[in-house]
């Protein structure tokens, strides 16, 4: 069983952020039929599906139908969104029994001039309607935990709306805080997406890819984790093969064993800033 399986329902986004490189793959939306074919094949291997790799999941015109497929198979979903469409899709989200958690990347506001204070107000008011789901406000754009001035205006708005004092200071000593019941704020250092054209930044590390998670791209390609932006480590295609067969391939088994032994052999993984961030945290424990 995997802790979670990422399924990319679209690789199209309505924003352009520096921290999130644009994929080189063909832009598309996953059809309802293909989504259900995938869910039918993976539902016995996990209880949780994350509806993204790249792209903005709330852009999908058939989001409601996709969530009903998850309900049919008794699966829960996590959604990571920039929040710009939260108000528009709030009824679908509110009515869905499948959605467990919504991660809202508030740091998007610092990279897009067309996002303003009204965006934050819309997000806050939408979240007020979501009582059953876990909500996490993400600010993953710091150079260091101690230097969080970049988010000062956002933090001020959160303080004012939720009547919280000294939130900026609290986030220096703790990167994860509870605001209210089921509502949290998570601040962290910005990481660089792996890119096979970049220089190696890490040679050893304990990655949980293929142990706790896998990712399925919008065309059905299975990759080890959610950070394989361009499908550089294809293990097979779930629309053409069973997940069991893909997991039993020598290539898949070798990568998994190497990860378990903190050995990184894939060129892409050696450029992974997220794994580097995890290893830095482990060393500082």
Name the residue with higher pLDDT: 279 or 37.
37
Look at phi and psi of residue 38 and say left if phi exceeds 0, alpha if psi is from -120 to 50, else beta. Answer: alpha
CATH H superfamily, domain 4-189? Aldolase class I (3.20.20.70)
Tens of pLDDT, residues 11-33: 999 998 878 888 999 999 999 99
Instruction: Return d(Cα 34, Cα 75) in angstroms, integer.
Output: 17
Which of 20-29, 55-64, 188-197, 202-211 has maximum average pLDDT?
55-64
Tens digits of residue pLDDT in 41-60: 999 999 999 999 999 999 99
pTM tops 0.85, yes or no: yes
Would you list the domain boundaries of the chain? 4-189, 213-284
How far CA 187 is from CA of 46, 76, 141, 200, 251, in Å, comes to 28, 25, 8, 26, 36
Residue 228 has pLDDT above 90, yes or no: yes
Strand pairing report for 134-142 and 176-180: unpaired
* Residue 267 per-residue DSSP state: T
- Residue 19, pLDDT score: 80
């Amino acid at each position: 069983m995997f802790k979670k399986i990422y399924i990319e329902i679209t690789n199209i986004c309505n924003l352009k952020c520096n921290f999130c490189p644009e994929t080189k793959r063909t832009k598309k939306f996953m059809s309802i039929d293909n989504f259900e074919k995938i869910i039918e094949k993976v539902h016995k291997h996990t209880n949780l599906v994350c509806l993204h790799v790249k792209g903005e999941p709330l852009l999908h015109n058939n989001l409601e139908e996709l969530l009903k497929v998850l309900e049919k198979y008794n699966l829960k979903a996590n959604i990571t969104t920039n929040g710009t469409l939260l108000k528009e899709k709030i009824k679908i989200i509110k009515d869905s029994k499948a959605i467990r958690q919504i991660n809202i990347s508030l740091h998007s506001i610092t990279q897009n001039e067309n996002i303003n204070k009204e965006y934050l107000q819309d997000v806050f008011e939408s979240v007020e309607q979501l009582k059953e789901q876990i909500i996490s406000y993400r600010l993953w754009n710091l150079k260091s935990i101690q230097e969080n001035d970049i988010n000062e205006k956002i933090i001020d708005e959160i303080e004012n709306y939720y009547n919280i004092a000294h939130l900026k200071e609290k986030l220096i000593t703790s990167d994860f805080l509870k605001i209210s019941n089921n509502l949290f704020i998570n601040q962290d250092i910005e990481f660089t997406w792996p890119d096979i054209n970049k220089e190696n930044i890490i040679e050893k590390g304990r990655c949980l890819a293929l142990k706790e998670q896998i990712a399925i791209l919008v065309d059905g390609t299975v990759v080890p984790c959610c950070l394989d932006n361009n499908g550089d480590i294809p293990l097979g295609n779930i629309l053409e093969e069973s997940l069991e067969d893909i997991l039993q391939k020598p290539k898949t088994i070798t990568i998994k064993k190497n990860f378990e032994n903190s050995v990184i052999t894939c060129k892409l993984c050696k450029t992974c800033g997220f794994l580097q961030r995890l290893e830095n945290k482990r060393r500082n424990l």
